[in-house]
Structures are given as C-alpha cells and as structure tokens.
C-alpha cells in the first residue's frame, strides 16, 4: 500500500509562500482534477505549491488528522517556505479546515471550494463522513466533525466559494460556516455563484469533466473561474 504523501511543486529555490492543496474525493480518494492543475496554477501566480494525497492509506478518525498534522509539521521545516496556505475542495476542504482548527499556528489562511463542513443530516455529504468513520458513526464523533461548531477566534482568515445549485454538497455548508466565522470574529471572504455543478475545481479548460469538452466546460463556467483571481487578491490582504 502506498503511504499518504505530499507532492511538492517548488517554483524555484527562493523563499516564497506555499499553497498546500487538499483535493476532494469524498474521503475515498483524491481527485486528479483538483490536484496538479491547481498546483500549476498557483505556481504561475508566483507561489510554491504542494498536493496532499491523503487517501492512499484510507485512515479513519482520528488517525487522519494526526497524519495530516505530522505531514504539515514536517513541510513547515523546509527553508524555501515562508507562509503556508491551505486550499481544500469538497471533502478536502473539510480536512483543510479541520487542520487549521487543530493547529492554527501552522497556517496563514485557508481557501475552501464547495467544502464539506457540517454533519447536520439536512445538509451533510453523508458519504464523506461514512468513509471517514464507518456506516454507523458515533454521535459524539459526528459532532466533533461538524466543523461549524468548532470555530474559534484563533482561526486564520478564510476564503470560501460555492455555487447555489451544488447538488452534492449543499451551499448551506458554506453558509453555516460563514455565520460561525462571523460570530467568532474570524476574517472571511465569501463568493457564492448562482450556477455550477459540484467539483468544478478551477472551472477552466484544464479541469474539464471527462464527459465534457474543455472549451465548452470553460465557457459554461467562466464566471465561477473568477474565484482563483479573487483568492489571489485575498491573499495579498493578509498581513505577514
């Protein structure tokens, strides 16, 4: 069995901020569409990047968060890295936010795309949590995994984007999170788009769905693709 690993995409040997990407995949796998293409895009913007492939070992709760923190703590020691930002999609967004909640001192900010956040049965992505804790999860564990309940003022700034008609992970996940961040005085910037399927990633030609041509995909999701530049602008507002 392969070990969980961080794949690094250093732009050069200079000291730069690093974007650590947590691809989605319902805690079953890590999606290729939310991996290298995103890392390359951040490289083009002048950042070091890395992708955390966190589902090779299929660790459950609580081993997955222990493993994640160990990987990031090791990464933090690299002399080429200034600040570390986390960028998580879907279930990867859950793990990225969870990581920042556990160790806010390790990261300077979190970018979340259509994140899995809540275990509330009305809005949760149940498959993600079953893959993490089993088909009959303990209520106390599920409560601990409902991250909108665990926000504190120590959390670094958060950037969120989601689409209103996401049929897989309801936008209510992000709405609940935004409210919790507001209540705890955590700086948050949020962009909610009217239309767009779940899993759009960069929403450009490099991340088209397999059953859709890249040009058509990019044209249909052009508005949503604006999230990336908005996130870059947001990073610039975060104090060193």
The model's pLDDT over 26-36, given as tens digits with 9 standing for 90+, comes to 999 999 999 99
Which residues make Cβ contacts (< 8 Å) with residue 192, sequence separation at least 6?
A: 161, 162, 163, 164, 171, 174
Could you state, in order of their start, the residue ranges of all structural domains in the chain? Answer: 5-236
Segment 47-76 mean pLDDT: 97
- Residue 193 confidence class, pLDDT cut points 50, 70, 90: very high
Q: Are 116 and 90 in contact (CB under 8 A)?
A: yes
pLDDT at 1: 79
pLDDT in tens, 203-234: 999 999 999 999 999 999 999 999 999 999 99
240: pLDDT strictly greater than 80:
no
pLDDT at 41: 98
- Residue 239 confidence class, pLDDT cut points 50, 70, 90: confident
Rounded to whole angstroms, the Cα distance separating 26 from 1 reads 20
pLDDT at 198: 98
Q: Looking at domain 5-236, does it have CATH number 3.40.640.10?
A: no
pLDDT in tens, 126-185: 999 999 998 777 889 999 999 999 999 999 999 999 999 999 999 999 999 999 999 999
Segment 16-38 mean pLDDT: 98
Q: Residues, the chain, total?
A: 240
pTM: 0.97
49: pLDDT strictly greater than 90:
yes
């Amino acid at each position: 069995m392969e070990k969980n690993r961080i794949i690094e995409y250093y732009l050069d040997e200079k000291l730069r901020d690093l974007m650590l990407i947590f691809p989605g995949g319902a805690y079953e796998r890590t999606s290729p569409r939310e991996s290298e293409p995103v890392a390359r895009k951040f490289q083009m913007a002048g950042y070091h990047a890395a992708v955390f492939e966190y589902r090779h070992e299929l660790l459950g709760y609580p081993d997955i968060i222990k493993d994640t923190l160990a990987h990031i703590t090791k990464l933090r020691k690299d002399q080429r890295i200034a600040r570390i930002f986390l960028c998580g999609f879907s279930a990867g967004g859950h793990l990225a936010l969870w990581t920042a909640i556990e160790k806010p001192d390790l990261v300077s900010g979190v970018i979340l795309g259509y994140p899995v956040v809540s275990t509330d049965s009305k809005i949760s992505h149940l498959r993600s949590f079953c893959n993490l804790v089993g088909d009959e999860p303990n209520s106390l564990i599920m409560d601990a995994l409902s991250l909108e309940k665990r926000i504190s003022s120590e959390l670094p700034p958060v950037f969120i984007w989601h689409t209103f008609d996401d049929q897989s992970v309801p936008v209510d996940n992000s709405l609940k999170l935004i409210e919790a961040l507001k209540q705890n005085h955590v700086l948050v910037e949020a962009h909610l788009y009217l239309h767009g399927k779940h899993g759009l990633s960069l929403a450009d030609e490099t991340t088209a769905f397999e059953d859709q041509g890249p040009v058509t995909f990019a044209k249909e999701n052009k508005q949503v693709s604006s999230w990336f530049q908005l996130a870059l602008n947001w990073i610039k507002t975060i104090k060193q």
